[in-house]
């Protein structure tokens, strides 16, 4: 591997940019393809699926035999609301390999005692989120039930490429939320990106089971696309 | 995470920074009950120090030996290990799987 190829991979990781290292197994020739430019590559279709499903592998095409090694940034879960359900979600998400960020401007909720060893921001989401950068390997949960906190987070999530947006609340709550987002100028197709009521319908009772249903839905969207 | 463990590349980068010669081995294909998924990596330095895993211990010894040659020759190579392969038995891949490993000199 040439030094410039290795540097490109290390830089991509530092900047949370998904890239693939494509190696021609017969010649040893290598190239780094960013996910955003994968459509221009001769392996476009292979790369699209490989990025989406986080699946490295060997592919034989008329041009030769290639190993596609996906270097996706770590998965990240941003939780809006330092609430009880967040506490239940965190251990499952962490075991599944997510870096976790919790944001809640209410100091009484966002305490280190309630959320030990977590990147915790006792600030307004619209102040924190632009600094974090919302990308394709990030999921967001809006859990506060408070439009003052949840809505600005959803605005930013909908303008980004985050792979999953979930919002807590009943069907009625989702309805009024959708009306507010429509009034704020978001088209119906964008609003439909929000999963709400959040989580797979598994009859979950109580925070731990709701956490399981949320993480199951999030995993399905990550791995299957919807 | 497609089997990738980012800490291996960090270690390899550190070794390069320290002026050590490094080879990188990557699992590119698996069949059957191979213990490490595609994308798993092993970084090896010229003294035979290594970090990571390509087979959960079955063939690391053989991969390290090949890697030392590859550091010297500068030429990448694809290695295959499997139960149908005489060498695989010798190196201990009796765990029932087959793997292909791409070994390359790093940043050279």
List of domains in chain A: 3-71 (no CATH), 76-224 (3.40.50.720)
Using an 8 Å CB-CB cutoff, list chain B residues near A56: 2-4, 28, 38-39
Give me the count of residues in chain A.
Answer: 226
B6, pLDDT greater than 70: no
| A–B CB contacts, 8 A cutoff, strictly below | 60
Sign of CA dihedral A94, A96, A97, A102: negative
Residue corresponding to tokens 């993480």: A215
Q: What is the pLDDT of residue A133?
A: 86
* Sequence-ordered list of residues with C-beta below 8 angstroms from that of B68, at least 6 positions apart, any chain: B23, B44, B46, B48
CA distance A169 to A166: 10
Q: Which of A6, A13, A25 sits opposite B6 (nearest CB)?
A: A13
Burial B66-98 (b: 16+ CB within 10 A, else e): bbbebbeeeebbbbebbeeeeebeebebebebb
Residue B9 touches partner A, C-beta closer than 8 Å: yes
* Eight-state DSSP code of residue B36: S
The shortest C-alpha distance from A165 to chain B (Å) reads 21
The interface predicted TM-score of the complex, written ipTM, equals: 0.84
| Tokens of residue A77, six digits | 């879960």
Burial A89-102 (b: 16+ CB within 10 A, else e): bbebbeeeebbbbb
Q: What is the mean pLDDT of residues B83-103?
A: 64
Using an 8 Å CB-CB cutoff, list chain A residues near B3: 56
Query: What is the separation of C-alpha A30 from the centre of its chain, rounded to a whole number of angstroms?
Result: 29
pLDDT in tens, B16-73: 999 999 999 999 998 876 678 899 999 999 999 999 988 877 788 999 999 999 999 9
Q: Would you say A22 and A46 are in contact if contact means Cβ atoms under 8 Å apart?
A: no
Q: What is the pLDDT of residue A155?
A: 98
For residue B82, what pLDDT band results from cuts at 50, 70 and 90?
confident
Q: What is the pLDDT of residue B73?
A: 95
In the three-class reduction of DSSP (H, G, I as helix; E, B as strand; rest coil), residue B81 is classed as strand
A88 preceded by cis ω (within 30°)? no
Q: Would you say A141 and A80 are in contact if contact means Cβ atoms under 8 Å apart?
A: yes
| Tokens of residue B77, six digits | 């190579």
Q: Would you say B52 and B40 are in contact if contact means Cβ atoms under 8 Å apart?
A: yes
* Eight-state DSSP code of residue A39: G
- Comparing CA positions, the residue from A114, A44, A38, A40 lying closest to residue A79 is A114
The angle subtended at Cα A96 by Cα A91 and Cα A98, nearest 5°, is 80
For residue B98, what pLDDT band results from cuts at 50, 70 and 90?
confident
Q: What is the pLDDT of residue B28?
A: 96
Other beta carbons within 10 angstroms of residue B48's beta carbon come to 11
Q: What is the pLDDT of residue B23?
A: 97
The angle subtended at Cα A195 by Cα A143 and Cα A174, nearest 5°, is 70
Q: Higher-confidence residue: B92 or A2?
A: A2
Other beta carbons within 10 angstroms of residue A130's beta carbon come to 11
Query: Mind listing the pLDDT tens digit of every residue in chain A (226 residues)?
Result: 999 999 999 999 888 899 999 999 999 999 999 999 999 999 999 999 999 888 999 999 999 999 999 999 889 999 999 999 999 999 999 988 899 999 999 999 999 999 999 999 999 999 999 999 899 899 999 999 999 999 999 999 999 999 999 999 999 999 999 999 999 999 999 999 999 999 999 999 999 999 999 999 999 999 888 8
- Comparing CA positions, the residue from A54, A14, A126 lying closest to residue A140 is A126
The shortest C-alpha distance from B80 to chain A (Å) reads 13
Residue corresponding to tokens 């070994």: B103
Q: What is the pLDDT of residue B1?
A: 39
CA distance A156 to A149: 12
Q: What is the pLDDT of residue B2?
A: 45
Q: Would you say A176 and A166 are in contact if contact means Cβ atoms under 8 Å apart?
A: no
């Amino acid at each position: 591997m040439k030094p410039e190829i290795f540097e490109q991979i290390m830089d991509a990781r530092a900047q949370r940019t998904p890239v693939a290292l494509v190696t021609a197994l017969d010649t040893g020739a290598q190239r780094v393809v960013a996910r955003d430019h994968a459509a221009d590559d001769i392996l476009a279709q292979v790369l699209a699926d490989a990025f989406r499903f986080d699946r490295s592998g060997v592919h034989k095409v008329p041009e030769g035999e290639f190993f596609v090694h996906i270097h996706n940034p770590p998965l990240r879960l941003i939780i809006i609301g330092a609430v009880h359900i967040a506490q239940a979600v965190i251990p499952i998400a962490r075991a599944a390999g997510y870096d976790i960020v919790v944001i809640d401007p209410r100091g009484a909720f966002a305490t280190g005692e309630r959320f030990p060893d977590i990147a915790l921001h006792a600030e307004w989401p619209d102040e924190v989120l632009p600094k974090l950068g919302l990308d394709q390997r990030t999921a967001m949960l809006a859990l506060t039930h408070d439009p003052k906190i949840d809505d600005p987070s959803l605005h930013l999530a909908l303008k980004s490429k985050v792979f999953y947006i979930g919002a807590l609340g009943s069907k009625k709550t989702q309805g009024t939320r959708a009306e507010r987002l429509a009034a704020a100028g978001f088209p119906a197709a964008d609003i439909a990106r929000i999963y709400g009521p959040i989580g797979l319908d598994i009859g979950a009772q109580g925070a731990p089971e709701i956490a399981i249903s949320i993480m199951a839905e999030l995993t399905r969207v990550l791995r299957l696309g919807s | 995470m497609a089997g990738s463990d980012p800490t291996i590349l960090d270690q390899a980068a550190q070794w390069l920074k320290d002026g050590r010669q490094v080879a990188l081995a990557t699992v590119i294909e698996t069949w059957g009950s191979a213990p490490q998924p595609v994308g798993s990596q092993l970084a090896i330095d010229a003294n035979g120090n290594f970090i990571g895993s390509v087979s959960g211990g079955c063939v690391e010894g053989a991969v390290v030996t090949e890697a030392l040659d590859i550091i010297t020759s500068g030429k990448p190579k694809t290695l295959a290990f499997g139960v149908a392969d005489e060498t695989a038995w010798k190196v201990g891949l009796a765990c029932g799987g087959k793997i292909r490993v791409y070994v390359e000199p790093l940043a050279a």
